[in-house]
Each structure stands twice: as C-alpha cells, then as structure tokens.
Structure 1
Amino acid sequence: MAGNEAAAAEEIPIPPPLPPRTELSRPEIERYSRQLVLPELGVRGQLRLSACSVLVVGCGGLGCPLALYLAAAGVGRLGLVDHDAVELHNLPRQVLHRESRLGCSKARSAVSALRELNSSVQCVPYELALDRDSALELVRAYDVVADCSDNVPTRYLVNDACVLAGKPLVSASALRLEGQLVVYGHQGGPCYRCLFPKPPPPETVTNCADGGVLGVVTGILGSLQALEVLKIATGMGTSFSQVMVLFDALESRFRYIKLRPRDPNCAVCGDHPSVTALQDYELFCGSSATDKCRTLCLLRNEERVSVEEYRKILDSNIPHILVDVRPKVEVDICRLAQAVFVPLSKLQEKDEGCLQLLVQRICEARQMSSENSAFPVYIICKLGNDSQKAVKILQGLSCPGSGLISVKDIKGGLMAWATKIDPEFPQY
C-alpha cells in the first residue's frame, strides 16, 4: 500500500506556495478597480487574495459559479478537482462548460473557461476522483477548500482532510429548490462530523440526479460559497462558521440556524480524536462517492427481470401488468404506453384508490390468461431503485380480488430500456 500511495502522490501536481506580494501592477489596479475602492477590501485585501490558493472539489453546479467569481475577483491559484466529463444535462447549471466541450474533462473544461476570463490566475486541473490517497496531500497544498461535491462519502473525506490539515472548509449543497451553506473548521466553529457524526442510511440520500435541481439555485449557493472564500482569504467581515444558511428558492427566503459549538468528543476534531488518518469513506457511508444516480440492491435475483427479458415477455404477448411507480412529474416526461401509473408514494401510504385501480387492472388482465398460476406484475421506475421498494410493499400487502400475483421489478428501469432496447426513448 505504501508503494501505491507514493506512486499516486508522484502523479499529482502539487504547486509550491504562492509568495506574498507588496504591490499591485497597473493592469491589476485597472482590472480590480471597482472592488479596490471598497474600504472593507482595499489594496491590502487584494494583495492577500492574490497570494491565496483555493481547492475546488467538484466542477459542477456549485463549483462552476464559485470558480468563476473567484477567478474574476483575482484569487492567486485555483485547484479544480473533478474526474467526470461534460454531459449535455450538465449545461443548464454548470455555467463554465459549453456545448463545444461535451465529452471533455470537467476539470480541463473549467480551466479553459477560467483562463479566458482571467489569464493571471493560476488554474490547476486535477482529473481524478478524490480519495484517501490523494485528498490530504492536495488539501495541504491550498489555503482554503471549497466542497462542491454531491455525495456523502466525499463530504466526510474532504472534511476529515481539512481538519487534519488545519484548513477552513466552505461547504454547500443544493437539491431541487433548496440549498444550504456552512463554513466548517474555522474561527472555532464545528466540523462536518461534529454535526453529522454518523452518515445517513444510503437509501435515504437523494442527489440531484435522483431528485432534480434548478440551475439558478446552484448558482446562488455557489456564489455564496465564493463570497465566503473571499471573506476568509481577505480577512473581510465574518464567516458562517457558527451558522448554517438555508435557502428556499420557491419562497425566495433565507433562514439562519445557529450551530452547536465544536464537539469536544468529535471523532476527528475533538480533544481525543479517534480518526487520525483518512479512511475508506465509501465503506463508512455504505455508498459510492459519486453524484450519479445510486443503485440499490433490495431484492433477490429471482425477484427481478432485465429489460431484455421484459422485452421478450412483450413480444410473446404474455398476459401481465406493468406498473410505473415514478412521480407524475416524471411520467409526464416520458412513459411506456402499456404501463399503469401508480406512484410509489401512494403505495407507501397504502392509498385505497390506487390499490383498487391496481386490483381492477390485474383482474381485467387475468381474464385474458388461461394460466392458474400467480399472475405476473412487473414494476418499473427510472433506474430500478423505487421499483424494488414497490415490490417490497406489494409483497407485504393483501389485495383482495386480485388472486395470487407474482411481483418483480425491471432492473435498470426506463433508462436501461432506453439504453438497451429503444434508443429513441428519452433519457433524463
């Protein structure tokens, strides 16, 4: 392991510290004139900013506006971490990327855009997935860290690395029409583990790929992150190290929650820490360090069918019922014509109207079958996660009048159908 860590370390470009500066050049005075005249910032603050380095973890919806405003303001160096490539669905919120750079590395795409904006800012791309072998070395090389990731394992990883390296962490998240912001490990405030000592169950975590997000919400939270970084770098004002900021886009409202102080029993920043080195955070959280849609495994193999197997059932005209358990907003985007729409939320509530509809459709379809065995019911959703939850619910419910039924889910859901069966079916 030690040899592998050394090899990994050699591949990561670690720039030297930025030297302190004593004066601004004439072009810099002209470029930054509107912020230089602010008494809270002035020449002293601008010089501090030009000598500051910031590590941005994630070049997505939060990282793009954050990096954009930091580069525009004249931060000395930006390290941009992202192992992913630019995809079409990124463009509504990830404002550094362009159609012309689809398929390109997000880190390099971001660097390209930032250099066009401000060529005097040093931009260092890191095309890698941050892990325990690389995180601490990178974090130590920068003055401030901004967590713009979209998954729980990376949040714990970045937090622990910042605590061990003694660096302030500006963290934000955005989902659907809401967002939140906190500055961790700064001015005596708590770290992420102080507030969340244990990760949530993986099946309860929703990310942007699962739950959606409005692009401008990530823009607002990313801009707030940039503001906090600028304040820390220049010594201007106070930071949100003792407060969590909550943003509700639907009501255009900000709320502020006072945080508990640093926990002396915290596993990483407490008085007697038990976490003194980075660990396996995917194992710790029970989930993958990715912002892609997660894949759950709640059923046995015999309780599931592939999209190819379901296609054969359709082609053979075998009597059955297909139940689509997605929310109505997703059904409005696209659907299979033969599916009965029964949202998972209604099944979880044991809604009588939806259950009666399902029983009625099963009874109608059963009349077309000469088989006396359990009638097949297949469940589909977007990715094959909610469909498994629905199978569990239907297995435990009694549906009088429907007779024996066999309930299975379709692995990979409609996105697997679009990829493997019908390339014209929309992906979202």
Structure 2
Amino acid sequence: MLAPLVEPGAALTAAERERYSRHILLPEIGPLNQRRLKNARVLVIGAGGLGSPVLLYLAAAGVGTLGIVDHDTVDLSNLQRQIIHGTSALGRSKLASAAAAVAELNPLVTVHQHDVWLSAANALDLFAQYDLIIDGADTFATRYLVSDAAALLDKPCVWGSILRFDGQVSVFWNTHGPTYRDLYPEAPPAGSVPSCSEGGVFGMLCGIIGATMVAEAVKLITGVGRTLLGRVVLFNALDATWREISIARDLATPPVTELIDYDLFCGTSTTDAISVQQLATLLAARARSELDFDLIDVREPAEYDIVHIEGALLIPHGGILSEEAVLDRDRDIVLHCKAGPRSAAVLAELQRRGYENVRQVEGGILAWVREIEPALPTY
C-alpha cells in the first residue's frame, strides 16, 4: 500500500460534511481523507470521452483543484460519449463547457483551464503545478509525452485508453513502479491503430473506464486500498469481462532524462504535411488547369459517403499498404484521411518504396471541414 499522496487540507465546513457525507461514512475515507481530497490538485489531460466522466467524478468526490488541458471545441459527434458537454455547448470551447459543468456540479472546486496543445515545451511547467496527472489522451504521442513528463517530475499518472468495445486502465509512477514505456517500449507503426474517431467507440465504455480511473486517483490521493501500479486491467464491454495483466519495470528500457519530439518518435511528424489552406489553394489552381496532382482519400468507403473533399479519389489505405492498389510514381500525390494517422502510415510506406512527390494533409478532413467547408458534416 502506498502512502497518501496529499496532506489533509483545512477542516471541513458543515456544508462540505453534508455534501461528502456518503464518503465520510466509509471508514477508509472518513473526514481525514476527505480533507486530503479537498487539498488535492489533479490535472486532467483532455475533456473528451474519458475526461468527461473523470472530471465529473473528481468534482463530485470533492477534489479541491482541477486543471483541464484541452484545445478543442464541442461538435455534434462528441455528444454520443462526452457527457460533460450538452447540445447548448456545440461550437463552444471544451474547456469552458467542462468548467461550467464542474461548477454546476460542485462550486467548491477550483478549475484551471489550460487552453494549449500539450507539448514538450510546456508539459513540465504545467505538470509541476499538480499532485497527480490523469491521462485521457487519444494519441500515442501524447501518452508518451505525459508518461515521460510525469516520470521526470516523479508524479503519479493514471492512464486510460478506449477503442471500440475495449478499455484499459493502469497507474504509472516512475519511482514506485513501471511507466507507459514499460507497457509499450515502442510506439506502434503510425496508422496501425485507429483512433476512436476512425474506429468508433461504444459510448458507455467511457463511463466505465473513466470511473475506474477516478477510483485509482482517489486511492492514490488518500493512500487507501491497492492501486493498479504494476497492473493493467482490461475490460471488454461486448462480453462484460474484466481481465488483468501484470507489468514490471523493463530494465532494458533507458531511463527518461529529457522530453523528445514525440511526433517523430511515433512516426506522426508533419514534416511532409500541408495545411488545409494550402490544399484549398492547390485545388483552386488545379481547377484552373495551372497544375495537376492526385488528391487521394485513404479512408474507407463508408466514411467517404458521409463526407469527402470534392475532387478526391478514394483509395483505402489498406489497399495501398498491401499493394493491391498501385499509385503512379510520376504524379504529385497528396494524401488525406480523417485526422492524419492513416495518411501518415501511407506516406511513410510510399516513401519507403521510393515515392518522392508525396505529401499529406495535416489534420485530414476534420481540419478541412473545420477551417474550409464548415457546412459539411463530420463524424
């Protein structure tokens, strides 16, 4: 059992004793550990599928200070699972929407909004302000960044991941056990694992995994129970089954000494990328017959049917990677997918085969709709 992460805060007021009475009745929590929760500072990465239940349950539990990192806005496709946001929040900053929901649930909680893209340049300064990090990110680059920054600062990190019907939860803490790098020493090839926006997610799974993450955070803060440090729990919603695997520190994994270029490490660097504004300019020039190139949409037919860029040719990425579909080496090629990972994988493979005139669209069709044609649907 780990020692409590946080010292007790000030004595509970009468209103706090009433609000948290069901916690206080638990011998393992009681007034003392409720005061630890009151004094805790927790940073949540992302106000999306996992961040939504995490933030609501942390606030309900009485965690005194919450930080939220997000740089996105609420869209209609979020509402199937991101329960902290409502229809009235469409188009609004997720930070503002989440902060308003927390304030409505528990006005005793202080919320700090960090409207930034988390990066190696700002992670350490940001993490240093908090006792505990909760990682609800949906990209491998961000997960490695969060784990490494937490390790450098000796902060515990509660990690969760969801895709389709499966979820995972663990706790990483460099001085007490393994980190994310011990679970995944190497990043999977870019595009090999779809994001939730590409592969879909069972909405209710977010609540199950998010609530489990909060339970781990509360145990760390209070020193109660056995945490998931050194263990990963995996839940399958289709079968309603839980299983557990053990992980240990990999002695072959070099210690983290600095933050790196995580997009480069994960193969998602945008060195060969163009913006959607640049693509719009290229398409306009192509329409005037001033230049010629192939715009290849590497998504699946069902995605193309929902929304596509006029003039794009659909060739799913699986066909390109397997060489069932062969692209013309003599043509200038611009690739795009939904958000970037699949086009990055195709770009890397084509470059490996010797294609020279290939680029990808940064942010994919989501960026196109957001910045160029907002009247088009998203999914």
- TM-score (norm. length: structure 2): 0.76
Q: Offset at 1:69?
A: 0.1
Deviations 1:46-95 (A, max 9, x none): 12111111111111111111010000010121111112222222222222
Over 3 Å counting, the alpha-carbon distance change for 1:328 and 1:235 in structure 2 is same
Query: Greater relative contact order (Cα 8 A, min sep 6): structure 1 or 2?
Result: 2
Q: Offset at 1:256?
A: 0.9
Q: 2:300·2:316 contact (CA, 8 Å) conserved in 1?
A: yes
What are the residue-to-residue correspondences of 1:373-392 with 2, within 5 Å?
A: 385=342, 389=346
User: Following the alignment from structure 1 to structure 2, what is the Cα–Cα distance between the partners of residues 92 and 295?
Assistant: 34
- SS state of the match for residue 171, structure 1? strand
Q: Does 1:195 align with 2:146?
A: no
Q: CA RMSD in A?
A: 4.2
Q: Offset at 1:283?
A: 2.8
**Structure 2 partner of 1:427:** 378
Give the AA of the match of 1:266.
T
Over 3 Å counting, the alpha-carbon distance change for 1:426 and 1:238 in structure 2 is same
What are the residue-to-residue correspondences of 1:154-303 with 2, within 5 Å?
A: 154-185=142-173, 188-259=176-247, 261-268=248-255, 275-287=256-268
User: Following the alignment from structure 1 to structure 2, what is the Cα–Cα distance between the partners of residues 23 and 416?
Assistant: 49
What are the residue-to-residue correspondences of 1:11-410 with 2, within 5 Å?
A: 20-21=8-9, 23-185=11-173, 188-259=176-247, 261-268=248-255, 275-287=256-268, 326-327=299-300, 329-330=302-303, 333=306, 345=318, 385=342, 389=346
Over 3 Å counting, the alpha-carbon distance change for 1:310 and 1:23 in structure 2 is same
Q: 2:120·2:145 contact (CA, 8 Å) conserved in 1?
A: yes
Q: Offset at 1:216?
A: 1.6
User: Following the alignment from structure 1 to structure 2, what is the Cα–Cα distance between the partners of residues 337 and 134?
Assistant: 38
- SS state of the match for residue 161, structure 2? strand
Q: 2:24·2:30 contact (CA, 8 Å) conserved in 1?
A: yes
User: Following the alignment from structure 1 to structure 2, what is the Cα–Cα distance between the partners of residues 279 and 138?
Assistant: 16
Over 3 Å counting, the alpha-carbon distance change for 1:58 and 1:422 in structure 2 is closer
Give the AA of the match of 1:263.
D
Over 3 Å counting, the alpha-carbon distance change for 1:335 and 1:30 in structure 2 is same
Over 3 Å counting, the alpha-carbon distance change for 1:241 and 1:296 in structure 2 is farther
**Identity of counterpart residues, as a percentage?**
42
User: Following the alignment from structure 2 to structure 1, what is the Cα–Cα distance between the partners of residues 371 and 63?
Assistant: 46
User: Following the alignment from structure 1 to structure 2, what is the Cα–Cα distance between the partners of residues 176 and 286?
Assistant: 23
- SS state of the match for residue 130, structure 1? coil
Q: 1:179·1:217 contact (CA, 8 Å) conserved in 2?
A: yes
Instruction: Give the number of aligned pairs.
Output: 355
Q: Offset at 1:180?
A: 1.0
- SS state of the match for residue 203, structure 1? coil
Give the AA of the match of 1:264.
L
User: Following the alignment from structure 1 to structure 2, what is the Cα–Cα distance between the partners of residues 202 and 66?
Assistant: 28
Mind listing any 5+ residue stretches in structure 1 that lack a counterpart?
1-16, 269-274, 289-293, 298-304, 314-321, 356-377, 397-407
Give the AA of the match of 1:284.
F
Give the AA of the match of 1:225.
M
Q: Offset at 1:123?
A: 1.1
Q: Offset at 1:25?
A: 1.6
User: Following the alignment from structure 1 to structure 2, what is the Cα–Cα distance between the partners of residues 206 and 54?
Assistant: 29
Deviations 1:126-145 (A, max 9, x none): 11112223211221221111
Larger radius of gyration: 1
- SS state of the match for residue 244, structure 1? strand
Give the AA of the match of 2:176.
G
